[in-house]
Chains A and B, each alone.
Chain A
Amino acid sequence: MSDSVTPPLPRPTSLRETPLGQWHAAHGGRMVDFAGWTMPVQYASIVDEHLATRSSVGLFDVSHMGRLSVTGPGALDWLESMLTRKVAGIVPGQFRYTLVTADAPAPVVILDDALVSRDSDAADGTPRMGLVINAGNRERVVAWLRSRLPATGVDLVDHTLDTAMIAVQGPKGVDLVAGLSSEGDGTRIRALGNYRGTTATVAGHAAAVSRTGYTGEDGVEVTVAAVDAVAVWEAILAAAVPLGGRSCGLGARDTLRLEAGMPLYGHELHADSDPFALGLGLAVNLEGRTFPGRGALAVLKAGQPERIRIGLDLGSKRSAREGNPVLGGAGGEIGVVTSGSFAPTIGHAVAMAMVAPAFASEGTVVEIAIRDARQQARVVGLPFHRRPPGGGKPPAAG
């Protein structure tokens, strides 16, 4: 056995804790350092948490993600000038997946992937915008955005530390949260399309509720004030447990997003990634728009990528892991694994990889070098797991 089972070393005291951090530690959460935060990787079994989310509902503390508000009369137009995704035309309550790119002729510099939203307008009709960004990129994204703020008309505030975000994911998630709201709020929550949000009172506390998530399941994400986090979390969990739901850690979140074929910054997506090669072309709208890094992205869009993102089905219990080489017919390296794990819903190991386009057709058989072993794998389409039909309407293009 290796060091991975030795008792954990004392953690550096600089780690941040979410408003739910004490709750996790007191309820069996196995706490690990993730992007500067102490977060639960699991409570008991990652597999059980994963399967509960697929069949019923799982609660995830995602308060470590960055939450920014962008307000003021110039907020919408400024974000339109800063993001790869079109923001003009977004309506109140709508969310869009976007990239945050910096100025660079070539190669491209992708600072993060994010969700941009237009929340309910201010009383005078001024749009109020929001951004949700990755924990590990928060400080540099905030610094970058602040450096580009106009002198007046746009206010950028980082609400990460004064709010909490709870992802309630799974086929029973929407109904469960709606049931903890008033009749009117509950009706609005149930009627949300995918990538739509509303304000509501959840378990007696003011909340923003959006039909978004990172698990491939239906569900919502609930943002509340930090001081209300434990009360709202416990109310949702108490309603979830009789349905077979449970609290889940980042381990299950990672296996769920892998099965759903979703890229993760730092693994599939890097600063110099080609988003078109990753299958993220829909997050980049070049048409008649100006934003930082547009020129570099236009070059990538016109070119032929050396490697593109694919799914690999190993059919084995042995997993490929990030960095394992992918080998072609003659044994030469034709790509690299970016994420891999045992996939609990599927029952064996799957992986995402970047490979040469000649090896990317579905059905192609390749080999993965896993330590001393060679494991055959078959190229398959993404996602590995698609939830049954139903739930919210698909997001609108834009």
Chain B
Amino acid sequence: MLKDVRFAKSHEWISPVAGGVATVGISAYAVEALTDLVFMQLPAVGRKVKAGESIGEIESVKAVSDLYAPVSGEIVEVNSTLPDHLETLGQDPFGAGWIVKIRPDDPANIDALLDRAAYEALIGSQPH
């Protein structure tokens, strides 16, 4: 599955579209870099978002980071159990640690994001 996901430079990953919907999370590299996650704010279901728009917050002991929409579309589902179980992000960032599901306005926009090799080159290490 990981070989098919695409990455934003801001460290979100997005899955291929299935049934019109793609899944979004943050990379293992990002989880590792943040460490000590304590708080997450998710967007409202039904919200229309533009690529690059902040759709939530992830807060560690040291700092707050925005979570950005990797593509434009509509938020159709959020992982509402995740904020109370942020350890899941460390355990399974590309699976159970998914954050939102988005219905992209144009699924082709996903293909324009970084593939795994390009993302690894960006961070200089493995994404998991």
8 A-B contacts (beta carbon < 8 Å): A1-B26, A1-B65, A4-B63, A4-B65, A46-B36, A317-B39, A318-B41, A342-B36
In the complex the two chains form, is A255's CB within 8 Å of B61's CB?
A: yes
Mark the stretch among B27-35, B74-82, B109-117 that contacts chain A: B27-35
Q: When chains A and B are docked, how far (Å) is the Cα of A251 from the Cα of B61?
A: 8
Distance (whole angstroms) from the CB of B22 to the closest CB of chain A: 17
Tell me if B96 is interfacial: C-beta within 8 Å of chain A: no
In the complex the two chains form, is A251's CB within 8 Å of B62's CB?
A: yes
Give me the 3 closest cross-chain CB pairs, A-B, nearest first.
A5-B33, A317-B39, A1-B11
Q: When chains A and B are docked, how far (Å) is the Cα of A321 from the Cα of B38?
A: 14
Per-position contact with A for B40-83: 1 when CB-CB < 8 Å, else 0? 01000000000000000111011111111000000000000001
In the complex the two chains form, is B62's CB within 8 Å of A1's CB?
A: no
Number of interface residues of A (CB under 8 A): 25
Tell me if A125 is interfacial: C-beta within 8 Å of chain B: no
B residues less than 8 Å from A45 (CB atoms): 35-36
A residues less than 8 Å from B10 (CB atoms): 1-2
Tell me if A42 is interfacial: C-beta within 8 Å of chain B: yes
Q: When chains A and B are docked, how far (Å) is the Cα of A251 from the Cα of B63?
A: 11
Which residue in A2, A6, A342, A373 is a CB contact (below 8 Å) of B61? A342
Tell me if A389 is interfacial: C-beta within 8 Å of chain B: no
Tell me if B123 is interfacial: C-beta within 8 Å of chain A: yes
Q: When chains A and B are docked, how far (Å) is the Cα of A317 from the Cα of B36?
A: 12
Distance (whole angstroms) from the CB of B52 to the closest CB of chain A: 12
Interface-central residue, B10, B38, B58, B124, by most chain A CB under 10 Å: B38
Distance (whole angstroms) from the CB of A7 to the closest CB of chain B: 6
Per-position contact with B for A256-298: 1 when CB-CB < 8 Å, else 0? 0000000000000000000000000000000000000000000
Which residue in B35, B65, B123, B124 is a CB contact (below 8 Å) of A2? B65
Tell me if B120 is interfacial: C-beta within 8 Å of chain A: no
In the complex the two chains form, is B34's CB within 8 Å of A5's CB?
A: yes
B residues less than 8 Å from A251 (CB atoms): 61-62
In the complex the two chains form, is A42's CB within 8 Å of B35's CB?
A: yes
In the complex the two chains form, is A319's CB within 8 Å of B36's CB?
A: no
Per-position contact with B for A355-372: 1 when CB-CB < 8 Å, else 0? 000000000000000010
A45-B36, A319-B38 given; A5·B61 CB < 8 A: no
Which residue in A5, A41, A44 is a CB contact (below 8 Å) of B30? A5
A residues less than 8 Å from B68 (CB atoms): 1
Per-position contact with A for B1-16: 1 when CB-CB < 8 Å, else 0? 0000000001110000
Q: When chains A and B are docked, how far (Å) is the Cα of A45 from the Cα of B68?
A: 25
In the complex the two chains form, is B38's CB within 8 Å of A41's CB?
A: no
B residues less than 8 Å from A342 (CB atoms): 36, 38-39, 59, 61
Tell me if A194 is interfacial: C-beta within 8 Å of chain B: no
Q: When chains A and B are docked, how far (Å) is the Cα of A46 from the Cα of B83?
A: 19
B residues less than 8 Å from A318 (CB atoms): 39, 41, 59
Q: When chains A and B are docked, how far (Å) is the Cα of A42 from the Cα of B61?
A: 11
Tell me if A63 is interfacial: C-beta within 8 Å of chain B: no
Which residue in B30, B64, B67 is a CB contact (below 8 Å) of A321? B64
Per-position contact with B for A37-79: 1 when CB-CB < 8 Å, else 0? 0000110111100000000000000000000000000000000
Q: When chains A and B are docked, how far (Å) is the Cα of A319 from the Cα of B59?
A: 8
In chain A between 219 and 274, which residues have their CB closer than 8 angstroms to a CB of chain B? Answer: 251, 255
Distance (whole angstroms) from the CB of A215 to the closest CB of chain B: 15
In the complex the two chains form, is B35's CB within 8 Å of A46's CB?
A: yes
In the complex the two chains form, is A7's CB within 8 Å of B36's CB?
A: no
Tell me if A341 is interfacial: C-beta within 8 Å of chain B: yes
A1-B58, A5-B29 given; A44·B67 CB < 8 A: no
In the complex the two chains form, is B35's CB within 8 Å of A44's CB?
A: yes
Q: When chains A and B are docked, how far (Å) is the Cα of A342 from the Cα of B38?
A: 7
Q: When chains A and B are docked, how far (Å) is the Cα of A198 from the Cα of B35?
A: 39
A residues less than 8 Å from B63 (CB atoms): 4
Distance (whole angstroms) from the CB of B69 to the closest CB of chain A: 12
Distance (whole angstroms) from the CB of B85 to the closest CB of chain A: 12
In the complex the two chains form, is A46's CB within 8 Å of B64's CB?
A: no
Which residue in B26, B30, B61, B83 is a CB contact (below 8 Å) of A341? B61
